[in-house]
Structure 1
Amino acid sequence: MPQQSFHFHKKVTIKKEVNLAYLLSLPVDYEESENKSYPLVLFLHGRGERGDNLNLVKAHGPAKLAEKKEFPFILISPQCPIEIPRYSTWPVYTDELIALVDDIIERYRVDEKRVYVTGLSMGGYGTWDIAKKYPEKFAAAAPICGGGSTKDIERLKNIPVWAFHGAKDDVVLIEESKEMVEALRAVGGNVKFTIYPNANHDSWTETYNNPEFYTWLLSQKKE
Structure 2
Amino acid sequence: MSRGAEPGSAGTVQEEKVFEREITVTARLKYLLALPEGYETGVERWPLLVFLHGAGESGDDLEKVKAHGPPKLIAAGDRAFPCIVVSPQSPGRGWNPDVLAALVDEICREYRVDEDRIWLTGLSMGGFGTWALAAAKPDRFAAIAPICGGANPSQADRLLGIPIWAFHGAKDFVVPLASSQAIVDAIREKGGEPKFTVYPEAGHDSWTETYADPALWDWLFAQTRSHSKRESTPVK
Paired position in structure 2 for 1:120:
123
> SS of the counterpart of 1:136?
coil
Matches within 5 A, 1:108-187: 108-187=111-190
Cα distance, 1:18 vs structure 2: 2.2
Q: What does 1:203-214 align with in structure 2 at a 5 Å threshold?
A: 203-214=206-217
SS at match of 1:66: helix
Equivalent position to 1:51, from 33, 52, 59: 59
CA contact (8 A) 1:132 1:152 kept: yes
**1:89 equivalent in alignment to 2:94:** yes
Question: What is the CA-CA distance between 1:211 and the residue it aligns to?
Answer: 1.1
Provide the rounded CA distance (Å) in 1 between the counterparts of 2:119 and 2:27.
21
2:69 is the counterpart of 1:64: no
- Structure 1 position 75 matched with structure 2 position 75: no
SS of the aligned residue for 1:103 comes to helix
Cα displacement (A) at 1:105:
0.5
Give the aligned residue type for 1:89.
G
Counterpart-to-counterpart distance in 2, 1:123 and 1:32: 33
Which residue identity lines up with residue 200 of structure 1 in the other structure? G
Shift of 1:51: 0.4
Q: Which residue of 1 aligns with 2:41?
A: 32
CA-atom RMSD, angstroms?
1.1
The answer (yes or no) to whether the contact 1:159–1:190 under 8 Å persists in 2 is no
4+ long deviations beyond 2 Å: none
Question: What is the one-letter code of the residue matched to 2:61?
Answer: N
Partners of 1:23 and 1:134 lie apart in 2 by 22
Kindly indicate whether residue 202 of structure 2 is the aligned counterpart of residue 199 of structure 1.
Answer: yes
The letter for the 2-side match of 1:49 is E
Greater strand content: 1
TM-score (norm 2): 0.83
Give the corresponding residue for 1:23: 32
- Counterpart of 1:111, as a letter, is D
Structure 2 CA distance, aligned partners of 1:219 and 1:104? 21
Partners of 2:191 and 2:180 in 1: CA distance: 17
For residues 39 and 203 of structure 1, the distance between their equivalents in structure 2, rounded to whole angstroms, comes to 25
> Match of 1:75, as an amino acid?
V
Corresponding pairs, count: 202
- Over residues 189-213 of structure 1, what are the superposed CA-to-partner deviations in whole Å (9 max), with x where a residue is unaligned? 1300001111111110111111111
The normalised TM-score by structure 1 is 0.88
**Aligned equivalents of 1:148, 1:221: Cα separation in 2:** 23
Q: Which amino acid aligns with 1:193?
A: F
- Extract unaligned runs of 5+ from structure 2: 1-22, 227-236
Q: Which AA in structure 2 matches 1:56?
A: K
Q: Aligned partners of 1:27 and 1:182: how far apart in 2?
A: 36
